[in-house]
């Protein structure tokens, strides 16, 4: 349970960091970033699993690169659900998803 809380807090910190780096991504507050981390995690665990199973042939053909497309879509859904979290365009969403995926992989490896 503690590991899950730490992972959510670290992901929230990553989201704040990415929002400060990317000009088209805005997070209203640290509380919002925690909510974004929780919602993104829940969407990734539910819808993400289904999309990864359906997209498995594309994931295999592209050697995993298609996972970034799926994560971009999941981040876009998170953006649409949370008012205080805004991403301006699909390019920024793609870059943010790439960075979040990289950070999440590192966090999963650590925890």
pLDDT at 109: 86
Write the pLDDT tens digit of every residue in 32-81. Answer: 999 999 999 999 999 999 999 999 999 999 999 999 999 999 999 999 99
In this structure, is the dihedral angle defined by the CA atoms of residues 17, 9, 31 and 25, taken in order, positive or negative? Answer: positive
Contact criterion met (CB below 8 Å) for 108 and 11: no
Q: How far apart are the C-alpha atoms of 63 and 67, rounded to whole Å?
A: 9
Q: Which three-class secondary structure state does DSSP give residue 98?
A: helix
Domain boundaries, the chain: 2-110
Q: Global pTM?
A: 0.92
């Amino acid at each position: 349970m503690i590991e899950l809380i730490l992972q959510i807090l670290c992901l929230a910190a990553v989201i704040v960091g990415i929002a400060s780096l990317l000009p088209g991504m805005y997070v209203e507050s640290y509380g919002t970033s925690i909510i974004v981390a929780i919602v993104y995690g829940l969407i990734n665990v539910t819808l993400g699993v289904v999309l990864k199973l359906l997209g498995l042939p594309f994931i295999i053909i592209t050697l995993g690169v298609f996972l970034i497309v799926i994560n971009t879509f999941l981040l876009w859904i998170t953006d649409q659900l949370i008012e205080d979290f805004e991403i301006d365009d699909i390019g920024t969403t793609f870059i943010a998803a790439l960075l979040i995926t990289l950070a999440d992989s590192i966090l999963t490896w650590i925890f």
